[in-house]
A and B are shown apart, each in its own frame.
Chain A
């Protein structure tokens, strides 16, 4: 079983739609959680950290469920520029190492 699992998609949605991505992780002792965004042939960029109480940044909302070892990302009012691969990332306990999911591809169309 992979340490971090995501639905690869692609999710094809129209502009203005709301879309949600899910991610599960296997190590219950994982300490920190993030969503990164990766554009084609580019390095990943931090989108947002995920906190236990849930957090929001503009159109983006992240949730963490430690009991189910599950992380989610909700994007409201999708824009064309949101088209990218969204990577669920988990920090291993006791280390600075980040473990990446394979990513979920989002394609927003007019």
Chain B
């Protein structure tokens, strides 16, 4: 079945540093990938839509200069949390859909647990 690989699974970084998270579709091509964030005991919140070859579309309230998204190929999107702060500590999850299959479901990566100290 379709697989989305996300890396790293967890990361601990110091306040002020930047962290890059990768999201890869392993056996399908995705023109669009989605980045979600989930705080403890809360729902997944859509942060942005990553579009291959063009700028990402950010949801209201999400700072585009803080959460940099790059979707350079049909199988890879990256999210960089710049100048991370403790309040950015969260579970970040990407998802993607097979562009060649109508009505295919979204496939989720295994998530990245970010802890900023």
Contact = CB atoms under 8 A, between A and B. Distances in A.
B29 interface: no
Instruction: Decide if the interface of chain A is mainly helix, strand, loop or mixed.
Output: loop
B108 A44 contact: yes
A87 B38 CA distance: 13
Contacts of B34: 96-98
B44 A100 contact: yes
Contact of A97 (B43, B46, B93): B46
B113 A41 contact: yes
A77 B50 CA distance: 41
Interface string B68-112: 000000000000000000000001010101000000011011110
Interface residues of B, number: 21
Interface in A66-110: 87, 95-103
B106 A101 contact: no
B49 interface: yes
Contacts, number: 44
B32 interface: yes
B42 interface: yes
Contacts of A102: 41-43
B108 A43 contact: yes
Contacts of B41: 8, 102
Contact of A103 (B32, B43, B113): B43
Nearest to B33: A96
Given A43-B93, A44-B44, A87-B43, A98 B106 contact: yes
A110 B49 CA distance: 42
Interface of B: 32, 34, 36, 41-46, 49, 91, 93, 95, 97, 105-106, 108-111, 113
Given A44-B93, A100-B36, A100-B43, 8 more contacts: A4-B43, A41-B113, A42-B111, A43-B108, A46-B105, A98-B95, A102-B42, A102-B43
